[in-house]
Structure 1
């Protein structure tokens, strides 16, 4: 049956058949294999990225836990912190007078109880700044949250007086169930 065709025509037919078989084999086997290899490398890259993100998240959680423990130091009595502030002022507050003390204000969020103490001081600017600096540097029981300066005129003496209003905050970490 194939004797009537020349070798050239047989060669072309065989080449066309080889191309068709190659295309079919590519579609059936090789394309799926190449797609699977590409998917494998892409998944491996995503896994490495997820591992890096998971490690970074773990480090952030540890850092947050350390900060929460530092901020949320246990205070036995919020009024005791106010007494500590007054003791500190008594020792380091040279030239500064306590003008007013507000009651302790308590608020809370999901993780902390927040105790705020507001104290108004009166004195010269340099003395007030030294007291503020001393509190920032070496007072471990509360942190300064706000500072405000006011100048008021005394109606009896017509003398200007400088007031400093300081809000201290200390945090107590809530016990999580």
Structure 2
């Protein structure tokens, strides 16, 4: 009993503590590997998101060209100036366009823009209607906000 209290007890406690330290060390090594992998993933995503460096005016012209080639039954009501927002890491260019037409034509164009227009992404779309009191008709509108990103320098 005396030898257990003087030697074995301390040896067993040291062995237990050594196992705990080894587990923490192994998880720390794994954390560094995970951190390295995450940093590489972030770099790849940054390159993918901010990789295009088209001028904002050029993107706006491409949007108008894309819309005009898709459907001639739609009317472009307004297109806002390009809004530029600077973040610590990115420049964000926002284009806003307002269209008028039938529901089928507007929804078809929205789908085409989301699927096939690669220079900018749709971040918001809103359908709304206005009544023309002179003709007593409802007119359907679609407001689309598109954004593209560029890596800040």
Structure-1-length-normalised TM-score: 0.79
Q: What's the CA shift for 1:64?
A: 2.0
Instruction: List structure 1 runs of 4+ shifted beyond 4 angstroms.
Output: none
Residue among 1, 4, 28 paired with 1:50: 28
- Name the structure, 1 or 2, with higher relative contact order (CA <8 Å, separation 6+): 2
Structure 2 match to 1:8: none
- CA displacement 1:45-70 (0-9 Å, x = unmatched): 11222233332332222222222111
Q: Select 2:132's aligned residue among 154, 169, 174.
A: 154
Aligned to 2:108: 130
Distance in 2 (CA, whole Å) between partners of 1:42 and 1:53 is 16
Following TM superposition, by how much is the alpha carbon of 1:97 offset from its aligned partner in structure 2, in angstroms?
Answer: 1.4
CA shift, 1:37, in A, is: 1.4
Structure showing greater Rg: 1
1:90 matched to which residue of 2? Answer: 68
| 2:43 paired residue number | 65
With normalisation by structure 2, the TM-score equals: 0.90
Q: CA RMSD in A?
A: 1.7
Residue-by-residue CA offset, 1:122-157 (whole Å, 9 max, x unaligned) = 111111111111111111111111101110112432
Q: What are structure 2's unaligned runs of at least 5 residues?
A: none
- Report which of the two has the higher share of strand: 2
